[in-house]
Structure formats: structure tokens, C-alpha cells
Amino acid sequence: MMRVFAGLGLPSAIASTLSKIEGGLPGARWISPDNYHITLTFIGEVPESKAVELNESLSKIVLPGFDIQIEGLGTFGHAKPHTLWAGVSVTPDLTRLQAKTTQAARDLGLDIEKRKFLPHVTLARLHDAPLDRLNAFISGNNPFHAGSFRLLTFTLFESTLTKDGANYSRLMDYPLI
């Protein structure tokens, strides 16, 4: 079995900018810049044979390249925040790509969760981070702009869970036209 998702890698300049805000937040376990990404469609555990079919299906997606903007900071976990993230501007192009990757997985009979698409880059996992410090961190770093980049590919990633968190490896990149 493989744990996979369709997503977007980040250029090293964007990852470097994101990593510069690390630190100064108790209870934060910072994500390695090598693991920064934007999830389009989380697929989950699939047999290798299904991953091969998924690769073939994703390779048939034909869309033009477009710009991605990384800006703003926020959290998931309303009452008890558990994730600190940098926002990704939602555009019709990004929404279209996300819908196509989700449909490619569903067409193969894969059960994809129906959670609303909220594009982001996870920066840190939070464990009992003091709310006052977290709020001060976010307000002290906003308005946050990590920049923009031209998206020319999307990727099928494998997620390997370890005791220190997940590690992500690229299985296949798919060009946009």
C-alpha cells in the first residue's frame, strides 16, 4: 500500500521565504522546507496497482500553467489550533486543477473526502501553543507575502509517516501546457 496525494511543489525561493518566519513560537514543530507543498487532492492509502492507474489518469489532465500567490498566515483547529499555515490565493485556474485531480481519483473508484478545498502550505504543527503567543506571532507576521510563482507542473506525491511526522517524495510530475 502507498499513501498518496496530488499536489504542488514549491520553488526553492518561495520555500526559503516561508522558512524565514520559523521560530519564536512555543509548542510549534516546524515543517522542513523540503516538505513544503500545497495539497490538491489527498487520496490516502492505495495499492500500488491503483497508484499506477492514478498516474495514468493524472497524466491525461491538460491545463495551461498559471500563477500561484502565497500570502497570509492562519491556523486550523478553531478552539485549539493544531496547524499553522501560509495561505494560497484561490483562483479559477487553481480550483479547476484541484477539481480535475479529484475527479481523476474518483473515476478510479477511490473514495476522496468531500472537505472544502482550502489551499495552504503547512508551516508548523502546534501542540499546546499558547493562544496569546500564537495570535501575536500571526499578527506580527501579517500581512505576510511569500511571493508568487508560475505553476508549470503538478505532482503525485507519496507520504511516508514517521515518528517525527510525514515525509513527502515526488512519484511523478505532470506538465501543464
pLDDT score, position 32? 95
The percent of residues in the chain predicted with pLDDT above 70, rounded, is 100
Over residues 31-42, the pLDDT tens digits come to 999 999 999 999
Taking every pair of Cα atoms in the chain, the longest distance, rounded to a whole number of angstroms, is: 48
Q: For residue 163, is pLDDT > 90?
A: no
Q: CA 68 to CA 38: how far, in whole Å? A: 10
Query: What is the residue range of 84's domain?
Result: 2-175
The pLDDT value given to residue 100: 98
Paired strand residues for 141: none
Cell of 133: 503567543
CB 86 within 8 A of CB 15: no
Task: Tell me: pLDDT of 164 over 90.
Answer: no
pTM: 0.95
Non-local (6+) Cβ contacts of 175 within 8 A are: 152, 153
- Reading the block at residue 107, the C-alpha cell is 473515476
Mean pLDDT for 161-177 is 93
Q: Is the predicted pLDDT of residue 118 greater than 90, yes or no?
A: yes
Q: What is the mean pLDDT of the chain?
A: 96
How many secondary structure helices (H) and strands (E) does the chain include?
A: 4, 9
Q: Structural domain tally of the chain?
A: 1
The domain that contains 107 carries what CATH number? 3.90.1140.10
- Mean of pLDDT values over 44-60: 97
